Amino acid sequence: MAILVTGGTGYIGSVTVERLRAKGEQVVVLDDLVRGHRAALDPGIPLYRGKIGDRELVARIAREHELESCIHFAALIEVGESVKDPAKYFGNNVGQGIAFIDSLVEQDVRRMVFSSTAAIYGAPEQIPITEESRKWPGNPYGWSKFFIERLLESYDTAYELKFAALRYFNAAGATEKYGEDHRPESHLIPNVLSTAQGIQKAIRVFGNSYPTPDGTPIRDYIHVADLADAHIRALDHLRRGGSSDFWNLGTGHGYSVLEVVQCVREITGKEIPIQMEPPRAGDPARLVADPSKAKSALGWEPGQSDLLSIIRSAWQWRLRHPQGYPAE
């Protein structure tokens, strides 16, 4: 039986597929390749190119592969873009997502691991953030993920669709084969590395007067390989008959923007000029997870998510792929 992975040519999806195959799992990927990369998927893995909301395509995949579960990554993820074009995000992440999940139920696929986000919490009232913290997203991207979480909860009750919703904090790092190559790129670590490569003249830092030790925002970074392993553990939890639930994926420790820049300087030996900008509206001073629930229920604990390991792995991947993935 096969696991359907949507968004399997994307950043976290490609690493999860890599880890699944290493465990001997049968995998089939559904991806429209709008934001993903064909080169991020082993050519031996079946790839269906299309939209997740294409019911006929999902039915065809189910006919051609005996699907037993799904890991659902496929989504648009840029916060700023979601503010400028919310219809695009609600149409893709919610509209397409509902059609896809309905198709799974029709095909009697009753297990899903869902790629959610810490953005559902919005500006936190407490640090570290627990799964019970107030949920009030500050942007359409966060709302689009929150809507699907609520749908999954309802579908569990009505249709016995068992799910694990994994709320990421800041994914980062790379494996030997697969790394981060978003176009455009909005994440801090790859942009600092682009500055080290000379692709950017300076790294833009948004605000240095936050109530943190060095004045710059603090975020909880987690290695992409640790994230992938969490998805596999969540799927195993559902396979064992575990109940549907929500889990934070983080380390419980945060690093500031300037700490990230300094770590890149130490690893690359590059200067990394800084261009100070005004703070962005809605950026919290700290976003740090309480990951204890995932540790208790899934037996998951990040093993590669110290900042040095994250940045070193990302830099090594950049050195092997200085232009990122090849153009399609």
CA-based angle 271:273:277, to the nearest 5? Answer: 155
3-state helix, strand, coil in the chain (%, to 5): 40, 20, 40
Name the β-bridge partners of 29: 5, 47
Paired tokens of 159: 């249709």
* Phi, psi dihedral angles at 327 (to 5 degrees): -65, 150
DSSP 205-245: EE-S-SSSTTSS-EE-EEEHHHHHHHHHHHHHHHHTTPPPE
- What value does the CA radius of gyration of the chain take, rounded to a whole number of Å? 19
Catalytic annotation present for 141: yes
DSSP 3-state of 28: strand
**Active-site pick, 121, 141, 155, 168:** 141
| Cβ within 8 Å of residue 7, ≥6 positions away | 13, 31, 36, 72, 73, 74, 75, 115
Known catalytic residues are 141
